[in-house]
């Protein structure tokens, strides 16, 4: 089933401002909120769908990629493809309610609804982790799967992430009576103002641990090390960030884990230089081969390709190997390899070589005769970028 357009889901135009998108999402959240539609699976799906749309359109970078590449640009259509949730690490249709409330509680937290289970109760969220991952040009071209060692906070095995010692449990917070929030009334010159904030006693959880776990000191998390398998799609670029939802630091007391942010670092190739999806290669030939023609070998991602140099080839000629470049992320088609043919001028000639060239110099064939068909330097550059 094809995914709906995010702008259509929220009912806004592509030129909508940040405030218009936030307002539209609030309206959808209010309409389909589970507290208003208990037991309604259709409303729940629409609530998640709206959260997914807002998650992308409220982020300037994700919105730009979505406008350019559609759903494939933010990875939402591949969220169930084994871990890598595209660029956002998020799929509203595959998230639980607590994750949505924890991410966007500031948007609709003042509507008078709870967090899907207890009025206003705060959901703990783990922090994000950021790592750098170096990739060769070959790995980028074909896509790869890497196993990486990650130092992160994990759920405490002793108390299973609850923070409570074995045999112990929780009591309802006496300050907020289990709601997780407290109300305060302040008198001002314009009258009384009521504010709601997380409970200072239980920190918004609505419950208090009777006896803290000694292994994690009641936090429910400990420092650990894990090996994670990371799938990298073909065509990523240096500086691009990918996100794995829920693979960051664990949250205190069994909350929602943070994300693992992967920063791509491209290892410079010895021969091929990259510009977007195209690759560039400089090849030098002597002017005899340029005059008589020859065959050269050009390095590619998959090995070497033989390329014919026609007789009379001029220096600065650019040869194009179509489809030998890099793929676009989550799209069809590949770029090209552009070979810049440089004619090498000999240096430190012997007296005999100089004499030979002096004799050849007198030949009419060595007199430059540029043709109107010969492309200028500007034309060649324009052709490359077109």
In the chain, how many domains are there? 2
Residue 87 within any structural domain of the chain? yes
At 78 the pLDDT is 35
The domain spanning residue 367 has which CATH number?
2.60.260.20
Q: How many angstroms separate the CA atoms of 332 and 349, rounded?
A: 51
> pTM of the prediction?
0.60
Residue at a domain's end among 123, 149, 178:
123
Q: Is 234 exposed, middle or buried (0-12, 13-18, 19+ CB in 10 A)?
A: middle
At 116 the pLDDT is 41
Residue 262 within any structural domain of the chain? no
Residue 331 within any structural domain of the chain? yes
At 143 the pLDDT is 93
Signed CA dihedral, 149, 254, 196, 171: sign only: negative
Task: Give the up-direction half-sphere exposure of residue 147: CA atoms within 13 A in the CB hemisphere.
Answer: 3
Residues 6+ apart with CB under 8 A from 318: 338, 339, 340, 341, 380, 383, 384
- Tell me: the pLDDT tens digits for 18-33? 989 988 998 888 788 7
In the three-class reduction of DSSP (H, G, I as helix; E, B as strand; rest coil), residue 355 is classed as: helix
Residue 12 within any structural domain of the chain? yes
| Alpha carbon 138 to its chain's center | 19
Evaluate if residue 130 carries a pLDDT over 90: yes
At 107 the pLDDT is 58
Domain assignment of residue 359, given as a range: 273-385
Residue at a domain's end among 69, 102, 123:
123
Query: Of the candidates 256, 263, 329, which has an alpha carbon nearest to the alpha carbon of residue 90?
Result: 256
Q: Share the mean pLDDT of the chain.
A: 83
Residues 6+ apart with CB under 8 A from 131: 148, 150, 260, 261, 262, 263
Q: How many angstroms separate the CA atoms of 170 and 180, rounded?
A: 14
At 33 the pLDDT is 76
Give the mean model confidence (pLDDT) for residues 338-362: 91
In angstroms, how far apart are the furthest CA atoms of the chain? 105
At 147 the pLDDT is 94
Q: How many angstroms separate the CA atoms of 385 and 189, rounded?
A: 66
Give the model's confidence band at 195: pLDDT under 50 very low, under 70 low, under 90 confident, else very high: confident
The domain spanning residue 7 has which CATH number?
1.10.287.110
On whether the CB atoms of residues 284 and 317 are closer than 8 A, the answer is: no
Residue 188 within any structural domain of the chain? no
Residue 177 within any structural domain of the chain? no
Residue 369 within any structural domain of the chain? yes
At 122 the pLDDT is 60
Residue at a domain's end among 104, 123, 142:
123
Looking at the DSSP bridge assignments, the partners of residue 144 are 232
- Tell me: the pLDDT tens digits for 205-222? 888 999 999 999 999 999
Which has more pLDDT, 386 or 115?
Answer: 386
Residue 306 within any structural domain of the chain? yes
At 77 the pLDDT is 37
């Amino acid at each position: 089933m094809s995914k709906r357009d995010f702008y259509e889901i929220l009912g806004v135009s592509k030129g909508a401002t940040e405030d218009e998108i936030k307002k539209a999402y609030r309206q959808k959240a209010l309409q389909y909120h589970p507290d208003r539609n208990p037991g309604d699976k259709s409303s729940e799906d629409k609530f998640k769908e709206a959260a997914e749309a807002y998650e992308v359109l409220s982020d300037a970078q994700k919105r730009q990629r979505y406008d350019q590449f559609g759903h494939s640009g933010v990875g939402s259509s591949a969220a169930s493809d084994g871990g890598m949730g595209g660029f956002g690490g998020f799929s509203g249709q595959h998230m639980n309610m607590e994750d949505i409330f924890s991410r966007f509680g500031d948007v609709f937290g003042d509507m008078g609804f709870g967090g899907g289970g207890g009025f206003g109760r705060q959901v703990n969220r783990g922090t994000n982790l950021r790592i750098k991952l170096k990739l060769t040009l070959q790995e980028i071209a074909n896509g790869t799967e890497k196993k990486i060692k990650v130092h992160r906070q994990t759920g405490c095995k002793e108390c299973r992430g609850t923070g409570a010692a074995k045999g112990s449990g929780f009591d309802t917070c006496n300050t907020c009576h289990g709601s997780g929030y407290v109300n305060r009334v302040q008198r001002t010159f314009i009258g009384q103002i009521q504010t709601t904030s997380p409970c200072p006693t239980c920190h918004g959880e609505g419950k208090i641990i009777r006896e803290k776990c000694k292994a994690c000191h009641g936090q429910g998390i400990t420092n650990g090390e894990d090996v994670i398998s990371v799938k990298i799609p073909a065509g990523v670029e240096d500086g691009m960030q990918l996100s794995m939802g829920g693979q960051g630091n664990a949250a205190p007391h069994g909350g929602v884990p943070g994300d693992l942010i992967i920063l791509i670092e491209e290892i410079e190739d010895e021969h091929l230089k990259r510009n977007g999806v195209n690759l560039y290669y400089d090849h030098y030939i002597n002017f005899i081969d340029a005059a008589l023609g020859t065959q050269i070998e050009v390095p590619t991602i998959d090995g070497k390709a033989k390329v014919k140099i026609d007789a009379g080839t001029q220096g600065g000629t650019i040869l194009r190997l179509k489809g030998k470049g890099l793929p676009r992320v989550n799209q069809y088609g590949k770029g090209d390899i552009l070979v810049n043919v440089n004619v090498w001028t000999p240096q430190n000639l012997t007296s005999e070589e100089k004499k030979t060239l002096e004799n050849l110099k007198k030949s009419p064939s060595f007199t430059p005769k540029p043709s109107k068909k010969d492309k200028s330097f500007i034309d060649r550059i324009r052709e490359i970028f077109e």
